[in-house]
Amino acid sequence: MRNKMILSAVASSLMLLAACGTSASETNVRHKVAVNNDYLKVTADGLSLGDKRVAEGDFFHLRTLPLSNGEILIGAMEGNTQELVLWRASGKAIQPVWKGEITSRVVEDICFYESNENQQLSVFLLGGRGGAEQRLLKQDEQWLKEPLVVRNMNVPFDSTACAVSNAEQKLYVAEADQAVWAYNAEPEVDQGRDLIAAAKPFGVIEGEVKALELLDDGSLLVLEEEPPRLLVYRQNEQGFKFDKAFAIDGAEALTDVSDLGNGELLLTEEDMTVMSKLTIDTLESKQRPVKKPVSQVEATLQTEPSPLRGDAIDDPAVWVHPEAPGKSRILATDKRTGLYVYDMSGNIVQELPVGRLNNVDVRGSWAVASLRDNNSLQLFDISADGGLSVSTNILTDIEEIYGLCMGYNEATEQASVYVNGKSGVIQQFVISNDGKMEKVRELSVPSQPEGCVVDDKTQRLFVGEEDVAVWLFDAAGDGSTSGEAIINVDQHEELVADIEGVTFASVDGRDLLFLSSQGNDSYIVFEGQAPWSLLSHFRIRTNTELAIDGASETDGIDVTTQSLGKGFEQGAFIVQDGRNRMPEAGQNLKLVPLENILKTIK
């Protein structure tokens, strides 16, 4: 239901007169924002809250964000020095947060984003030459000493303005007189974009867009500079829909719009001498569900990136040195070239260019990978010091080979390879001491699987059917071929397809099943026994101290409870990072101390 407010299609131009004494002048007010029952104003002389001068400077692009702790974050660009200046306000008290020169781009606009899910606060710096960046300001309750660039973004060349919806986790960017686009605001997400508004004949935009503003009811305001118009887009279940346009009479050109609350808007003119007020009708604000906080861990080691960009690194595995854990090796498949071997500093120590490998696993002195070039199994010998050499290649009759895992049966003293194809078929091969393989049986799931893992102790095989469920099979070569769906995607809101990586560990007698939930860039730990309770939902986010980015779009994962040396004495959780940032580079692996993940478990 619409609030009963007067709709003024024509703005009333208000000449702003200079104030006397030392109070802030209303003349040449560039931006004005309602803060704590007062107004925060920017002029050519500085920033003021009410009559109190906060800072001297030639400020532009005033932006504020009410924070979840009750404070208000304030930011502006200093025109003479190209410095970003940040403050935070609590009541009438305002204290500086950070000031520093921005040398990476000429800033056209700034926007703040607070993530309740990941407990992060960041700022977007929008450039006008096809680039933007997101800088982390605060993590948990800790302000960073200086903003940390967590990602660079490609935006339209003539980007002019931005706005952010915390609830929708979206960044909106105006492309001059052409369009308004929506991007994901979370740093560890896909960088695709959606069209929100367009120029004629596909939409109603006619002039250059100089400012964007989001109202509490979810409406998006688009301000055209010349001739001055304000476009209102209302949000429904299908997205944004154009509602109406206001022609601003008496103004020549507009540069900014500010929401003063209750449908009252303040429009700033280009020459900064006149401001116009406009009152619009607002919709009843809907109570939007707040994203629940997700547990957070941080990687303390990352591997060298793949020299190839795009989809390259897929699946990790670990070989533990029996005498010197610090000399252990991390393996990773590259879907274009072969196998990488890393030391425990993350350096590549071997490259084995055998072809397009998908998944890899290790048991004893064998590593086996699925080779997509000829739908085969590629064996590697592992020497006592962790060196790998190419061994036997075994052809399969799987049409499109895909995922793979290994297991060891202590009763038969035999290692097995479980390899699957995109059709849902799963084949088990037993490895003899001389490296020969024999197919012993065939299993299946209804649709495409990939990740799988074996609990050697109980001889259980877990298989991830990507869009649907995790299946449980008997891992023994003479066991039943019937499986049971034990964890279903549609029964857990935290689990979003695809289920890519699957791994298993037993810690202090407790069985734990780890999954990578690729659809929401997170990881889940389930009880490794019926009733398969969800124990932890976590993400890997930015390590600000070590400048290691988070992990997302993860394919393969692995876990070990054995020591891998300093920093990983109690084991490690290893993931493929599909979006390697800080800086942008080829895909790599991230390692998290296992004990940090165990702390998130219920």
How confident is the model over 269-311, as pLDDT tens digits?
766 555 677 888 887 766 666 678 899 999 999 999 999 888 8
What average pLDDT does the segment 491-518 reach?
A: 96
3-state helix/strand/coil string of 7-49? CCCCCEEEECCCCCCCCCCCCCCCEEEEECCEEEEECCCEEEE
Domain boundaries, the chain: 18-208, 297-313+397-598
Percent pLDDT > 70 in the chain is 93
Tell me the per-residue pLDDT of 172-212, one tens digit each, with 9 for 90 and over: 999 999 999 999 999 999 888 999 999 999 999 999 999 99
Q: In terms of CATH, what superfamily is 18-208? A: TolB, C-terminal domain (2.120.10.30)
Count of C-beta atoms within a 10 Å radius of residue 199: 17
Task: Determine the pLDDT at residue 395.
Answer: 97
Per-residue confidence (pLDDT) for residue 273, from 0 to 100: 55
- The pLDDT confidence band at residue 262, using thresholds 50, 70 and 90, is confident
What would the two tokens of residue 469 be?
């469920």
**CATH number for domain 297-313+397-598, candidates 3.20.19.10, 3.40.1390.30, 2.60.40.10, 2.120.10.30:** 2.120.10.30
Question: Which tops the pLDDT comparison, 29 or 240?
Answer: 240
Measure the CA–CA gap between 229 and 173, rounded to whole angstroms.
18
CB of 52 closer than 8 Å to CB of 39: no
Compute the mean pLDDT over every residue in the chain, rounded to the nearest whole number.
Answer: 91
What are the DSSP calls for 293-336, one per residue? P-EEEE-SEEPPPPSS-SS-EEEEEEE--SS-GGG-EEEEEETT
Residue 465's pLDDT band, with cuts at 50, 70 and 90, is: very high
Continuous segment of H or E residues that includes residue 108: strand 107-115
Question: Of 307-311, 378-382, 392-396, which range is least confident?
Answer: 307-311
Arithmetic mean of pLDDT, 347-357:
98
Predicted local confidence at residue 151, as pLDDT: 94
Give the span between the Cα atoms of 463 and 449, in whole angstroms: 7
One fold for both 18-208 and 297-313+397-598? yes
The average pLDDT across 574-600 equals: 96
Mean pLDDT of the 542-547 span: 96
**Under 8 Å between Cβ of 181 and 173:** yes
User: Do the Cβ atoms of 317 and 333 come closer than 8 Å?
Assistant: no
Report pLDDT for 8. 34
Q: Residue 594: helix, strand or coil by DSSP?
A: helix
User: Does residue 598 carry a pLDDT above 70?
Assistant: yes
pLDDT digits (tens, 9 = 90+) for 135-145: 999 999 999 99
Strand partners, 339: 333, 352
Question: What pLDDT is attached to residue 1?
Answer: 37
Q: Check residues 37 and 506 and name the one with the higher pLDDT.
A: 506
CB-based burial label for 8 (10 Å; 0-12, 13-18, 19+): middle
Mean pLDDT of 545-552: 96
Angstrom distances, CA of residue 166 to CA of 119, 135, 143, 262, 290: 12, 16, 19, 20, 9
Residue 60 in this model has a pLDDT that exceeds 90: no
Q: How many Cβ atoms sit within 10 Å of the Cβ of residue 531?
A: 7
52-61, 381-390, 418-427: least confidently modelled range = 52-61
The full DSSP string for 515-546 is EEEGGGTEEEEEESSTT--EEEEEEEE-BTTT
Report whether pLDDT(17) > 50.
no
Q: What is the CA radius of gyration of the chain?
A: 28
For residue 16, name the pLDDT band (cuts at 50, 70, 90). very low
Q: Answer yes or no: are the C-beta atoms of 378 and 388 closer than 8 Å.
A: no
**Is the predicted pLDDT of residue 20 greater than 60, yes or no?**
no
**Distance between CA atoms of residues 427 and 229, nearest Å:** 65
What are the Cα distances from residue 257, in Å, to 174, 210, 281, 528?
A: 14, 9, 16, 55
Is 364's pLDDT higher than 70?
Answer: yes
Residue of 17 and 355 predicted with greater confidence: 355
Amino acid at 294: V
pLDDT at 287: 65
Strands 179-184 and 193-198, how do they pair?
A: antiparallel
**pLDDT > 50? residue 250:** yes
- Pairwise pLDDT comparison (289 vs 35), residue with the higher score: 35
